[in-house]
């Protein structure tokens, strides 16, 4: 287990990261152009796919939808990293009394990260991030080359990958993404990754002391209007996908856009979940 000094130092780094969050780059600000303008120039197929992706986010908030990840894979990565670093993952029989239940076993192993140092959890999260960003870059280049049909198919893939990598970040730090309050936290991380500087600061404030039950109720009530919350996200997403229609250059746009999207989403998830875990450990 990490010393209190280590936890304090890591928390300081996260707070520094929060303060260093900058405003959107020019490329991202393109996505803030009026929706009416986007509506006029965007092909119907793209608008439909973005609408479907938005509905999928709503379904995820409500019941997890189709974006649930396999806990076993993340548990295996954590275990491998722990062994390589000279640690072992504690398996508590009381946590999963039915040994035949593979999912319960996975949950026990994820929960046992409480006995692992942050460096092990960080390396696992970084490994997952590296793998997902490489896949996203290749996916974006391929769809940028194929025109409107493949770009339309790319939209649900990127949205699904964003939600999945956030769930994986949750699992890396010992949180169960199947829990309703964690689905809300994950969607807030998704918002954070695409928000401007004002929005980022607001979300950081919203998620402060998130493990306080009263705070969770407050944040969950705010998410009742999730469709309005994600209108700006879908507009930004739409403009970026529209640029992928440019011949040849669309491959570059697609690769860079998808890679940056997943990288930013994963970083937000890692830092915000890590902060929660540190605060929990400091309070013990």
Which tokens go with 130? Answer: 């590296």
- pLDDT single digits (tens) 63-79: 666 566 888 899 999 99
pLDDT at 95: 38
Number of domains observed in the structure of the chain: 1
pLDDT at 97: 33
- pLDDT single digits (tens) 216-232: 666 655 555 455 545 55
The residue assigned the tokens 């939808």 is: 65
- pLDDT single digits (tens) 112-136: 787 899 999 999 999 999 999 998 8
- pLDDT single digits (tens) 168-213: 999 999 999 988 889 889 988 988 887 777 778 888 888 888 888 7
pLDDT at 223: 53
Distant-in-sequence, close-in-space partners of 149: CB < 8 Å, separation ≥ 6? 45
Q: What is the value of pTM for the model shown? A: 0.78
Q: What is the DSSP letter of 179?
A: S
pLDDT at 115: 82
pLDDT at 46: 61
Please give the residue range of the domain that contains residue 134. Answer: 4-283
In which band, very low, low, confident or very high, does the pLDDT at 31 lie, cut at 50, 70 and 90? very low
List Cβ<8 Å contacts ≥24 apart for 216-220. Answer: 216/181, 216/184, 219/184, 219/185, 219/188, 220/180, 220/181, 220/184
Q: Is residue 16 over pLDDT 50?
A: yes
What average pLDDT is seen over the chain?
75
């Amino acid at each position: 287990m990490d010393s209190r000094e280590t936890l304090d130092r890591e928390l300081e780094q996260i707070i520094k990261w929060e303060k260093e969050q900058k405003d959107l780059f020019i490329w991202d600000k393109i996505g803030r152009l009026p929706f009416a303008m986007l509506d006029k120039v965007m092909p119907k197929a793209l608008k439909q796919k973005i609408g479907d992706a938005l509905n999928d986010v709503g379904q995820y908030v409500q019941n997890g939808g189709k974006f649930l990840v396999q806990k076993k894979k993340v548990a295996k990565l954590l275990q491998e990293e722990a062994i390589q670093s000279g640690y072992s993952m504690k398996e508590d029989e009381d946590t999963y009394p039915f040994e035949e239940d593979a999912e319960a076993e996975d949950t026990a192993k994820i929960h046992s990260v409480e006995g692992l140092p942050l460096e092990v959890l960080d390396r696992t999260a970084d490994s997952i991030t590296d793998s997902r960003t490489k896949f996203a870059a290749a996916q974006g280049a391929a769809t940028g080359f194929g025109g409107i049909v493949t770009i339309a198919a790319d939209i649900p893939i990127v949205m699904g990958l964003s939600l999945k990598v956030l769930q994986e970040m949750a699992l890396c730090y010992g949180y169960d993404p199947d829990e309703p309050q964690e689905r809300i936290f994950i969607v807030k991380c998704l918002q954070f990754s695409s928000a401007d500087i004002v929005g980022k600061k607001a979300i950081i404030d919203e998620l402060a002391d998130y493990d306080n039950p009263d705070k969770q109720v407050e944040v969950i009530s705010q998410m009742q209007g999730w469709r309005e919350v994600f209108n700006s996200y879908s507009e930004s997403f739409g403009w970026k996908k529209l640029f992928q229609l440019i011949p040849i250059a669309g491959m570059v746009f697609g690769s860079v856009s998808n890679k940056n999207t997943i990288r930013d989403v994963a970083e937000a998830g890692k830092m915000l979940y890590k902060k929660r875990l540190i605060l929990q450990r400091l309070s013990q």
